[in-house]
Amino acid sequence: MTLTQWNNLPDKGRWDIMVALRGPDAPSPEVMKWFTSSVIRGQMTEVFNSHGLVNSDLQLIVLPTGYGKSNGWNREHFCSHIHTAVGWLGLPVLTVECEVWIDAMNQRDIQEAGKRIKLAASQFRAYSPDDSWMESILYKPEQMTELVRHLKKRAGGI
């Protein structure tokens, strides 16, 4: 986002983006930040200096289909802030099954999280009749391509 685009946003849009810059209050937040709030920070580098983890390379956000059972923190609250900011920024969302998202985001390593998402996408396609998986909101091919590109650039592939 450019400074001009930022200045043209309504106050609510600026507020929604700023709120999403804060990472989750989750037990293991680093991988989750990498695929969510750090991407938003990366989009804002021309507007202001965001402290903390910044991911300027990945051009999408990874979010779950639902929120599932939380282990002491409000996953739904965090994801809703991210989703709202994504709407203002116009970023694509890679939507994954809730259980897969929870498992991936709880990994200690970004590459391992990516592998789990990629495996789930492959299984989803394999068990979907015909090409019906292409009509789903889950694991959209263009978003999966972006995720794989990013992970290859970051650490030599998944």
- DSSP H/E element including 95: strand 93-96
Pair 46, 3: CB distance under 8 Å = yes
Cβ 144 vs Cβ 137: under 8 Å: no
pTM of the model: 0.89
H helix runs in 22-109, sequence order = 29-35, 37-43, 75-89, 98-105
Give tens-digit pLDDT for 93-107. Answer: 999 999 999 999 999
CB 62 within 8 A of CB 100: no
Q: What is the mean pLDDT of residues 130-145?
A: 79
Is 151 in contact with 116 (CB distance < 8 Å)? no
Q: Phi-psi region for residue 66, left (φ > 0), alpha (ψ -120 to 50) or beta?
A: beta
- Name the residue ranges covered by the structural domains of the chain: 3-155
Listing DSSP states for 98-117 in one string gives HHHHHHHHTSS-HHHHHHHH
Q: What is the pLDDT of residues 52-109, one digit of tens each?
A: 889 999 999 999 987 766 666 678 888 899 999 999 999 999 999 999 999 999 998 9
